[in-house]
């Protein structure tokens, strides 16, 4: 008898009881459901974390966290109560295993990375870069990345209500950390947003705008509504996607009366003009999908958005197994009506090697997920190849598994390649984590590292 590799079970969503944490023992449901209360009580340092968990976390864990902030972190600490409450949801802070449960927890592993999580020998890949996707090089105007022929990414602001340890935009997003200073926009926000709209008005080939950041939940609602309203006035724009991890991390924001009413106005206009208005969120673990997250998604559907889709990130120790990915997809789909859409391989930013998987692992995961979810809700696992863009993980032209280098081609040119006759035939490299390579591959990289300036 052959066992089914994955067993589907319908799970009821549950909001973990925040009152199990000593610092929030007296917090009422009304406070918890207030976006203002959530924002005011975000945890930004170990002192605040201690105050929430009481004596629950051992000192060695807190020292591990502080060491990471001092020596490795590319993102500063910022986690809303809603997200923190989903860490080790079933273990009371008074339990002896509380710290161990935190060490092992998937949400903790990417939102509050500790020094001992990092890969000791190769914490960063030799080819890692701060702006690993070279988005700033492709800015048509400041903050507007024009990488694909028909679509653009508009980075409206450089902040989020939560900071993820693996953030791809670590170059730009968030506060400086002990080791990473952040790039600053040169133009004032109003001038930058006006320049974006001006570019889109004179570039009718762009039909699809990802309105992002950062996280649009950090833009004052009237400012976001006026930017999206201006986009809706541009006849050539047919797709608008608002990027907000806060739909999961701070669902209270999307449930506020002001935001619901504003989204209803935007969705009505979008529908009348035949434009698809959707929300893209970022959920990496099934336990993050709680009833409040489902309510926020439902509120957006009731406001009239076309869809709410999830773009997760494939992270070792968080979700890099078929069962975890499928559990997450079913929680999104069954519990919240959120469409599983993409899982990106974690980008090659500094400090990410312990999270990253090899291309071969990603291909195996994609294959293992096929056939369980409806076809329309089966997410694609994609590799965002520098200078190329998103490619399905099975699209590599070739893959040297000893040195961990895959080679990719592209089928469109960006402004960067105009005049480059080889743009469509060149192979662009992407790299597996060195510590996962066979011994001769690792030795090859050690030799490379001894010869500065040489990159494969």
With CB under 6 A as the contact rule, the residue among 133, 173, 217, 314 that binds ligand SF4 is 173
Stretch that binds ligand SF4, among 118-126, 162-170, 290-298, 323-331 (CB under 6 A): 162-170
Stretch that binds ligand SF4, among 36-44, 160-168, 336-344, 355-363 (CB under 6 A): 160-168
Closest CA to 340 of 299, 391, 382: 382
Whether the Cβ atoms of residue 404 and residue 358 lie closer than 8 Å to each other: yes
Alpha-carbon distance values, 52 to 44, 96, 204, 372, 399 (Å): 12, 17, 51, 39, 47
Classify residue 36 as left (phi > 0), alpha (psi -120 to 50) or beta. alpha
In angstroms, the first-to-last Cα distance of the chain is: 47
With CB under 6 A as the contact rule, the residue among 245, 306, 309, 410 that binds ligand SF4 is 245
Site string for ligand SF4, 247-286 (x = CB under 6 A): -----------------------------------x----
Q: What are phi and psi of 408, to 5 degrees?
A: -130, 150
- Find the shortest distance in angstroms from Cβ 243 to ligand SF4: 7
Stretch that binds ligand SF4, among 102-110, 167-175, 257-265, 341-349 (CB under 6 A): 167-175
With CB under 6 A as the contact rule, the residue among 109, 169, 241, 354 that binds ligand SF4 is 169
Site string for ligand SF4, 372-401 (x = CB under 6 A): ------------------------------
Stretch that binds ligand SF4, among 157-165, 364-372, 407-415, 446-454 (CB under 6 A): 157-165
With CB under 6 A as the contact rule, the residue among 21, 77, 164, 325 that binds ligand SF4 is 164
- Find the shortest distance in angstroms from Cβ 127 to ligand SF4: 21
- Find the shortest distance in angstroms from Cβ 132 to ligand SF4: 13
- Find the shortest distance in angstroms from Cβ 166 to ligand SF4: 7
- Find the shortest distance in angstroms from Cβ 186 to ligand SF4: 20
With CB under 6 A as the contact rule, the residue among 160, 242, 255, 259 that binds ligand SF4 is 160
Site string for ligand SF4, 198-237 (x = CB under 6 A): ----------------xx----------------------
Pairing status of strand 144-145 against strand 151-155: antiparallel
Please tell me the distance from the alpha carbon of residue 285 to that of residue 53, in angstroms, as a whole number.
22
Whether the Cβ atoms of residue 216 and residue 224 lie closer than 8 Å to each other: yes
Q: Does 346 bind ligand SF4 (CB under 6 A)?
A: no
Closest CA to 166 of 70, 84, 284: 284
Closest CA to 209 of 223, 191, 188, 230: 230
- Find the shortest distance in angstroms from Cβ 88 to ligand SF4: 21
Binding-site size, ligand SF4 (CB under 6 A):
11
With CB under 6 A as the contact rule, the residue among 167, 278, 293, 329 that binds ligand SF4 is 167
Alpha-carbon distance values, 195 to 80, 94, 345, 357, 411 (Å): 33, 54, 32, 38, 28
With CB under 6 A as the contact rule, the residue among 61, 103, 122, 163 that binds ligand SF4 is 163
Closest CA to 385 of 334, 340, 426, 421: 426
Please tell me the distance from the alpha carbon of residue 456 to that of residue 434, in angstroms, as a whole number.
13
The smaller minimum CB distance to ligand SF4, of residues 343 and 445, is found at 343
Please tell me the distance from the alpha carbon of residue 297 to that of residue 286, in angstroms, as a whole number.
15
CB-count burial class (<10 Å; 0-12, 13-18, 19+) for 84: buried
Helix pair angle (359-369, 322-330), 10° resolution: 50
- Find the shortest distance in angstroms from Cβ 208 to ligand SF4: 19
- Find the shortest distance in angstroms from Cβ 42 to ligand SF4: 13
Whether the Cβ atoms of residue 213 and residue 155 lie closer than 8 Å to each other: yes
User: Contact positions toward ligand SF4, by CB under 6 A?
Assistant: 160, 162-164, 167, 169, 173, 214-215, 245, 282
């Amino acid at each position: 008898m052959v066992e089914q590799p994955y067993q589907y079970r319908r799970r009821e969503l549950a909001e973990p009881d925040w009152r199990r944490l000593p610092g929030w023992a007296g917090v009422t449901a009304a406070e918890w459901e207030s976006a203002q209360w959530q924002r005011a009580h975000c945890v930004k340092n170990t002192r605040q974390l201690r105050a929430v968990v009481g004596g629950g976390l051992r000192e060695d864990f807190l020292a591990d966290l502080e060491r990471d902030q001092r020596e490795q972190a590319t993102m500063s600490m910022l986690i809303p109560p809603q997200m923190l409450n989903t860490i080790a949801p079933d273990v009371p802070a008074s339990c002896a295993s509380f710290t161990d449960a935190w060490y092992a927890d998937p949400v903790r592993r990417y939102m509050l990375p500790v020094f001992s999580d990092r890969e000791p020998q190769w914490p960063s890949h030799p080819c890692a870069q701060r702006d690993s996707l070279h988005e700033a090089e492709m800015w048509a105007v400041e903050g507007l990345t024009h990488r694909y022929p028909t679509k653009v990414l508009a980075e409206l602001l450089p902040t989020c209500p939560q900071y993820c340890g693996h953030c791809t935009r670590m170059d730009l997003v968030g506060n400086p950390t002990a080791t990473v200073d952040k790039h600053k926009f040169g133009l004032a926000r109003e001038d930058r947003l006006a320049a974006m709209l001006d570019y889109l008005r004179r570039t009718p080939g762009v039909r699809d705008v990802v309105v992002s950041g950062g996280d649009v939940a950090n833009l004052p609602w009237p400012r976001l509504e006026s930017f999206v309203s201006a986009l809706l006035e541009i006849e050539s724009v047919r797709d608008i996607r608002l990027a907000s991890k806060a739909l999961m991390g701070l669902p209270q924001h999307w449930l506020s009366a002001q935001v619901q009413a504003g989204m209803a106005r935007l969705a009505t206009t979008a529908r009348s003009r035949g434009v698809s208005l959707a929300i893209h969120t970022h959920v990496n673990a099934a336990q993050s999908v709680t009833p409040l997250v489902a309510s926020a998604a439902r509120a957006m559907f009731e406001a009239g958005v076309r869809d709410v889709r999830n773009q997760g990130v494939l992270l070792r120790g968080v979700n890099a197994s078929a069962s975890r990915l499928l559990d997450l997809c079913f929680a999104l789909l069954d519990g919240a009506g959120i469409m599983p859409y993409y899982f990106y391989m974690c980008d090659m930013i500094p400090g990410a090697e312990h999270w990253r998987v090899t291309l071969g692992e990603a291909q195996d995961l994609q294959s293992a997920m096929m056939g369980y979810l409806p076809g329309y809700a089966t997410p694609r696992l994609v590799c965002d190849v520098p200078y190329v863009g998103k490619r399905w993980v099975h699209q590599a032209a070739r893959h040297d598994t000893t040195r961990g280098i895959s080679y990719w081609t592209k089928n469109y040119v960006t402004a960067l390649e105009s005049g480059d006759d080889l743009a469509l035939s060149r192979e662009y490299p992407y790299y597996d984590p060195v510590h996962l390579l066979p011994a001769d591959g690792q030795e090859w990289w050690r030799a490379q590292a001894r010869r500065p300036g040489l990159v494969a």
